[in-house]
Structures are given as C-alpha cells and as structure tokens.
Amino acid sequence: MSTSDKLYDVVIIGGGVAGLSAAVSLSTALRSVVVVDAGTPRNAASSALHGFLSREGMQPLELLAAGREEVLAYGGEILQGTAAGAERCQDNLRVRLEDGSSVAGRRLLIASGFRDELPDLPGLRERWGRDVIHCPYCHGWELRHRAIGVLATEPTAAQEALLFRQWSSNVTLFRHGMPEPGPAERDQLAARSVQVVDGKVQALKIENDALTGLILESGRVVPCEALVVSPRPVTGSDLLRSLGLQEADSPLQAATYVQTDETGQTEVPGVWAAGNVTDPNAQLITAAAAAVKAATAINADLVAADTRRAVAALQRSPA
C-alpha cells in the first residue's frame, strides 16, 4: 500500500468504542477524520456488553459495526491497519503502518486501548471472555447464581471475591500460592460464606466446552463454573515509544497508562489520548465519554489554529 498524500485534520489510532465515538464527534464538526483500526477489539470474546445505555446486552462486535457505519455516514474514513510509529512533519504528524504505508494528520488521537497479560496458567487464554473473566460489571449478570472461583494472583483477591459475592452465593477464593488473608479479611470472607481453598491451581477442568472445575496440584478438583482472574493491562506499543510518551504506573493495579490532562491532551504537542490507554479501568461508556471530550478539545485546538492562520493571512494582505 502506498503512502497517502492526503492530510487529515485528525488521525485516530484505534477503532474501538473510544476511537469511533471520537471519530463521529469530529466528523459531525466537519473535520476530515481517518480511523486506523487493527481489528482486534479487546472485548471481542464477550457475549454481551453492559453499562452502555440503550445498548444493554448487545454483542460487542455489533456495537462496533454500528459505530463504523455512523463514522462513514458522516464522512469519516476507516483504514484497516496497525500503527507502527509516528513522527512530526513540520506542524503535522505522520503515522507509519506495519504494511509500510503511512497517513498524516494535523492532530493525533490515540485510542488503542491495551492487551491483557493473563496469569501463567494453561487454558486461560482459550477461555478468556467466556468463563474466564475479570469484571463483574461486564460479566456478572451472565454468571449470576453460578459457582464462581477467584484466582488469587495479587493482594486484592479477597476483596475481589467479596465483590463477586454480590452476584453469587457460591464464591470460592483460590489462594494459588498467595499469602493467607489477614484476620480481618478472613472474618469478612467467612461472614459472606466465601470458601478459601489452599494450594496452587494446576489446570482447568473442561467438559463439553465449558469450565466445570479447577484441578489443584494435589489432584483435588473443586467445582467452578466461572473463574475470575486479574490480567495485567499492557499499553506499551511501538507507536507510544516513537512519540516519546512516558507511561505512568497505575495506582490501582500493576499496569501502566498514558498520562494526559483533563481534556486528554498528552505531553506531546498535537497528540491526545483517550479510553483504556489512559485509564485501564474505564468501562465502555466512560471510555467513549473520554474520547468525545478529547474530540471536542481537538476541534477547539484546530479552530484556534485556523483562526491564527486566518489572522496572519489578513495581516499579510495589502491594505
């Protein structure tokens, strides 16, 4: 694919709900917009989405398909590809794609999200988003009243088990080698009838393409229909590194994220970021809201630049 000579007002990296929401907002502001989409949404394996008003229970890929249609209807463009890096060209930014092509914009919005780094346990990746999950607000309704296990891989596991207790009375905390909960947490777990199982988990027991239990190193099998794990969100990418964006440690978990101001503007001039790349805990609707906020800030920045250019041209013109 050849390099495009077109200069867009805004290049958006990421075709998830954040990137598409920003693209619609900018397109309706009559800005030329292209969305570079790698086509690998993080929630593709989920059966339904929650917490997004008027779209409750919709399959995630259906929401993205509807979003792409809206972007195209308002004149925005969608380009299939993966961003490999970016560089400044005078006042603009050119994004290089993995296939060797490139696309340029006056402003850049990064909404690329992150990838989940799962605990080292065979079979987790294959069940991810189905009966191996992480978020009660994303999956709790489908798993209500079922046997739920929580795999302890970080100190907050006991509190995670207490949270999932809201959706089921049958919750088991698998210590998996983590330190024993303290006296206060032990009392809380006991009061809420959360069973604590010692010993490391060795494997998942799968029957008829469904999780039915966890197999401990001792050989004991503990019934379990869904397993909660805590993945590590990884936002790092060649694109971020090429821009010199520094990733900050998340105060909530072992993760990194891109720092921005309240409008989504990064420390790099002309570059904004929104969605999970700036907030690993953002749900769909909050990621979309942050992207729309960034889009309005980008449009305001472009309006200011256009006005400065117009004033300079007026001052240069003969009296």
CA distance 257 to 242: 16
pLDDT at position 209 over 50? yes
Q: Report the pLDDT averaged over residues 77-86.
A: 96
* Spatial CA neighbour of 160 closest among 170, 168, 150, 169: 150
In one-letter notation, the amino acid at residue 125 is R
Same domain, 158 and 255: no
Structure tokens at 54: 């008027």
Same domain, 125 and 222: yes
Q: What is the CA angle 300-305-307, rounded to 5?
A: 95
Q: Which of 142-156, 227-241, 303-317 has the lowest mean pLDDT?
A: 227-241
Residue 1 lies in a domain: no
Residue 153 lies in a domain: yes
Same domain, 251 and 211: no
Number of Cβ within 10 Å of residue 87's Cβ equals 13
Residue 177 lies in a domain: yes
- More confident: 16 or 318: 16
Same domain, 142 and 273: no
Residue 68 lies in a domain: yes
Q: How far is it between the farthest Cα atoms of the chain?
A: 90
Same domain, 104 and 188: no
Structure tokens at 22: 């920003």
pTM beyond cutoff 0.85: yes
Q: Compute the mean pLDDT over every residue in the chain, rounded to the nearest whole number.
A: 92
Q: Report the pLDDT averaged over residues 89-115.
A: 94
Same domain, 103 and 175: no
- The phi and psi torsions of 207 (rounded to 5 degrees) equal -135, 130
Which range has the top average pLDDT, 58-62, 118-122, 292-296?
A: 292-296
CA distance 188 to 164: 13
Q: Structurally, how many domains does the chain consist of? A: 2
CB 44 within 8 A of CB 15: no
Question: Residues 22-49: pLDDT tens digits?
Answer: 999 999 999 999 999 998 887 777 778 8
Burial group, residue 231, by CB count within 10 angstroms (0-12, 13-18, 19+): buried
Residue 2 lies in a domain: no
pLDDT at position 298 over 60? yes
Specify the pLDDT at position 249. 61
Percentage of residues in the chain with pLDDT exceeding 90? Answer: 77
Model confidence band, residue 13 (pLDDT cutoffs 50, 70, 90) = very high
Among 228, 249, 265, give the residue marking a domain's end: 228
* Strand-pair partners of 228: 133, 150
* Residue 102 neighbours by CB under 8 Å, 6+ apart: 3, 4, 94, 95, 96
pLDDT at position 57 over 50? yes
Q: Report the pLDDT averaged over residues 151-165.
A: 95
CA distance 27 to 16: 16
Model confidence band, residue 1 (pLDDT cutoffs 50, 70, 90) = very low
pLDDT at position 123 over 60? yes
Among 213, 228, 243, give the residue marking a domain's end: 228
> What is the residue range of 60's domain?
7-116+232-316
Handedness of CA 157, 159, 165, 171 (dihedral sign): positive
Structure tokens at 148: 């739920």
Same domain, 253 and 183: no
pLDDT at position 2 over 50? no
* Strand-pair partners of 271: 108
Q: Residue 160 maps to which CATH number?
A: 3.50.50.60
Among 177, 212, 228, give the residue marking a domain's end: 228
Same domain, 202 and 245: no
Residue 158 lies in a domain: yes
